[in-house]
Amino acid sequence: MEKQKLDPQLTLMDSAQCFHWRKTAHGYAAIVAGKPMFVREGEVPEDGAYFDWDRDYGAIARRYAQFPALQRWMDALPGLRVLRQPVWEALVAFILSSNNNAVRIRQLVWKVCALGPQREIDGEPMRGFPTPEALARAGAETLRQMGCGYRAEFLEHTARRVADGFELDALRRMEYEQAREKLLTLHGVGPKVADCVLLFGCAHTRAFPVDVWMARAMERHFDMAGLSREQMREKAQQIFGEDAGLVQQYIFHAMRTGLAEE
């Protein structure tokens, strides 16, 4: 694997770690933290921090030679990077992800983003996430009408908590377990959602979200049959340490797309 490579289609559109980017005529565009962001195929992104640009993913693969399947998947997915998104944006997206598939999550995220700022990027209108205050003002009924279902109440309650002073950015500075415990106090945030927010929004690379795909991978490829999802998370963190969330993204994508079965 090359040290620095970005596949924007894979990372931004296909990997289910973010849901509001769009492919345009000349690249990929989104509003991130209220500001327009644009990425072209084959170019170095302007915001290196967002794309975790300084990390050598090839070196990570080489650290786990005892797992040839993992090395094979990482080699097969050059350019897949784990994003460092704004915490609030990851929180909203992954509350909406509960019991949903990627297509439906993307649709709901875009509906909720209708409450956020609009900019034109590459000749196309783009929407960003609403602020916590704007989402709280919209209320659960508006969100239900958008199709959010039972998640509408979760979003309203969590938006009010954040608007009233719940410090999301403080989660980045906490130890992983402390930040996880804090996140779990928010409405709509269970163990899997918490780990997604910590990984994709807080840069806690130790976070290891376990859903049905990851549970299946842990059973088939990592000798964890019979363990609960919480036990799988803990064992994976023992094996991979601070790389756990990074390798998780490759395992997840390999399982979800059938690459793991080849």
Catalytic residue numbers, as ranges: 192
Of the candidates 161, 163, 162, 143, which has an alpha carbon nearest to the alpha carbon of residue 153?
Answer: 143
Interatomic CA distance for residues 53 and 39, integer angstroms: 13
Of the candidates 245, 259, 261, which has an alpha carbon nearest to the alpha carbon of residue 81?
245
* 3-state class (DSSP) for residue 220: helix
Task: Name which of 141, 22, 148, 33 is nearest 97 in CA terms.
Answer: 148
User: How far is residue 115's CA from residue 238's CA, in Å, rounded to a whole number?
Assistant: 41
Element spanning 176, H or E: helix 176-183
Distances (CA, A) of 157 to 106, 166, 170, 189: 21, 12, 19, 11
Q: What is the CA radius of gyration of the chain?
A: 18
Cβ 188 vs Cβ 98: under 8 Å: yes
Q: Strand pairing of 22-23 and 118-121?
A: unpaired
